[in-house]
Structure 1
Amino acid sequence: MNIEQLKYMVEIARTGSLKEAAENLHITLPALSQSIKNLEKELNISIFHRSRRGSVPTEEGHKLVEKANSVLQKLQEFMEEAEAYTNTMNGEMKIATYPGPMEILVNLISDIKREYPNIKASIYENSTEHIIEKVLEGEVDVGFITYTEKEEKKYRNLVFKKLLDGHMVVAVNKNSPLAQNKLITAEMLIDQPIVLYNDVYINEFMKGFSSLPFDILFTTNNVDTIRHTLENNTAINIGFDYAFKTDAGLSRSDKYVVINFASPHYKTYSFGYFYNANNGLSRILREFLKRIHRTIKDSGVHG
């Protein structure tokens, strides 16, 4: 018996499916099945009832799953206790983010590195779907993204923590005729050249206007390109309001204004971070995320 097998038991019991548990644990279905069979053989009992409907713990299995949960929790407490005995934090932080909070994250990482020079940190910028993929694959510890309840229900092995509520807005040059409006309607966007950040939520949002003759000039993953386009009055931009509050390049320019959409296109999204529940969080990551919450709160940035 090993720790991994305890994790496997808990995940199968939680999902009720060997296939789903294997996907969440990022191992093959045959490997997971064989590991549980080996454990059952070692213990000489059946832990799960298997059928076409799924895998359900036996009476003995229920009790063992509860014990496994307790053991894993105690193991986590043990690791945290051991880490607390040293004044020097170490380890590695691998973070991925939507472009908006990049400057905030970089500044926080710099502060932590000054306090704890032994840690290693890496951070990269990408779109929502790529960040989710990287966290699921274990290549990234924590991802900062835009999300909705759909993602929370779809990725049950991911833990989502909201930092802000936000919504879609239109950014236009101050010299644009659109700048005089308090709200933007769909009809106002007709024949307007538009530049978009390449993100799954922005793309989904734009599908709501698919019946109108839109002029999508281009999509990009470069925020500076979007800023230059707005400042030169080459196009308008549709994106998340908190990107214009937290992104260094976007928030410091005074050459354009941000306008809310009129109903029914005023839609709320969540911005926050997530991590893989199967992997947990190291001490340095917990400290980093605690500072993120404090920084967002102190900055006065709200949805």
Structure 2
Amino acid sequence: MTFEQLRYIVAIEKFGTLKDASEELHVTLSALSQGLNKVETELGITLFQRNRRGSTITKEGRIIVAQAKKILYALDDLYESADVMQNKLTGVLKVASIPGPFFQLFTTAQQLKNIYPEINIQIREQNSQTMLEELQSEKVDLALVVYNNEDLAKYPDLAFTKIKDCEMLVVAHKDSPVIQGGSAMTEELGEQPVILFDDKIVIGTMNEIKRVFGRNDIVISVNNPHIVQQYVEENKAYTVGLDLTFDHSQRFMQDMESVKIDFLTEIPTTHSFGIVTKSSRHETQLMKEFAYRLKKDFQEQIPELVNLT
């Protein structure tokens, strides 16, 4: 039995048909079928039941494929460990983040890239809900997310590593009537236009403000944080967002007023921020190295790092 044959059975389990598996592996259908037959003959076990609709894995096949994955992961780790020792680490890492900590994320990625020039770290901004869903489907390897207890219950297969608590704020231009004397003018919250970053927690907070203080008919929701800042800078609207969203926006905040949302009692206004990965996904050396450095960089800013896994 060869490592290549183990890759064959893992691919068949993943894609469900020999045809799709052969295309993914760039081997002929005949070679894949022969490789599967050799594994089954050597083990004396039927791994897949073949039919017109595809290949259905057997109970015994699930056990064997799970062991094959462990062997292949260990082989990958062996090669990657050797690469790390020689500063030759390679690979692609897909990372997503909410807007606030994007600066620290980029800094950590650049430092790692300086050590391992051959790596490819792809970074994009997204809202937390999209990132959690894409972590599950493995479209994203690692994400910096704001989450709450509802998310912990909804995504039991994800590993949440808490970095810090974050607070919801109302942010408005200093000339806006929304914030005066260091307090939010609650009667103005339902009257003045508001622009929001399209995030589940942010939208939920605004919905509660509307329920408590009256309907606001001018609510703009966008997925570009720079548009949010532009509208608030021009005093066209106020915004609601997490404090860490504005941590690296000192220039923007110079002409702004902000207050914590401590006037809502029916929903939480303190949430968790942290690193999230998929529990069952094999961590490559690149994932491990990047997550370690990212945690370390945040620890230098925040003394306590709490693991929820």
TM-score (norm 2): 0.69
Find the aligned partners of 2:126 and 2:278 in 1 and give their Cα distance: 18
**1:144 lines up with 2:115 in the alignment:** no
Q: State the alpha-carbon separation in 2 of the partners of residues 267 and 76 from structure 1.
A: 43
In the alignment, which residue of structure 1 is the partner of 2:179? 179
> How far has the Cα of 1:141 moved from its partner?
0.9
CA–CA separation in structure 2 for the residues paired with 1:219 and 1:169: 16
* Partner Cα distance (1:68, 1:187) in 2: 63
Structure 1 74/286 Cα, relative in aligned 2: closer, same or farther at 3 Å?
closer
Residues 1:153 and 2:173 aligned together: no
Q: State which of 277, 280, 290 in structure 1 corresponds to 2:279.
A: 277
Equivalence for 1:132: 132
User: Contact conserved, 1:244 with 1:251, CA < 8 A, in 2?
Assistant: no
1:8-66, Cα deviation, whole Å (9 max, x unpaired): xxxxxxxxxxxxxxxxx8x77xxxxxxxxxxxx99899xxxxxxxxxxxxxxxxx99xx
The residue identity in structure 2 corresponding to 1:298 is E
Measure how far apart 1:84 and its partner are: 4.6
**SS, match of residue 299 in structure 1:** coil
Alpha-carbon distance in structure 1 between the residues aligned to 2:116 and 2:68: 34
Are 1:227 and 1:250, in contact at CA under 8 Å, matched by a contact in 2?
no
> Does the CA contact (< 8 Å) of 1:98 and 1:127 recur in 2?
yes
Structure 2 unaligned segments of length 5 or more: list them: 17-39, 46-62, 305-309
Q: Report the CA distance between 1:270 and its aligned residue.
A: 0.9
State the Cα deviation string for residues 258-294 of structure 1 (Å, max 9, x = none).
2111242662111112112222322222222222222
**1:239 and 2:244 matched:** no
SS, match of residue 215 in structure 1? coil
CA contact (8 A) 1:148 1:270 kept: yes
Tell me the residue number matched to 1:34: none
Q: TM-score, normalising length from structure 1?
A: 0.71
Highest Rg: 1 or 2? Answer: 2
| Match in the other structure for 1:295 | 297
In structure 1, the residue corresponding to 2:300 is in which secondary structure?
Answer: helix
CA distance in 2, matches of 1:172, 1:301: 31
Tell me whether 1:207 sits opposite 2:232 in the alignment.
no
1:1-303 pair list within 5 angstroms = 78=78, 81-184=81-184, 186-211=186-211, 212-245=214-247, 248-249=248-249, 252-261=252-261, 262-264=263-265, 267-299=269-301
Q: Distance in 2 between matches of 1:210 and 1:274?
A: 31
Query: Counterpart amino acid of 1:168?
Result: M
Asked if the contact 2:233/2:252 (under 8 Å) is kept, the reply is no
AA of the residue aligned to 1:216 = I
Q: Distance in 2 between matches of 1:68 and 1:282?
A: 17
**How many residue pairs are counted as aligned between the two chains?**
270
Give the percent of matched residue pairs that are identical in Structure 1 and Structure 2. Answer: 24
Q: Which amino acid aligns with 1:294?
A: K
**2:285, 2:100 → 1: CA distance?**
25
Contact 1:243/1:250 (8 A) holds in 2: no
- Alpha-carbon distance in structure 1 between the residues aligned to 2:250 and 2:200: 20
Question: Does the residue aligned with 2:179 lie in a helix, a strand or coil?
Answer: helix
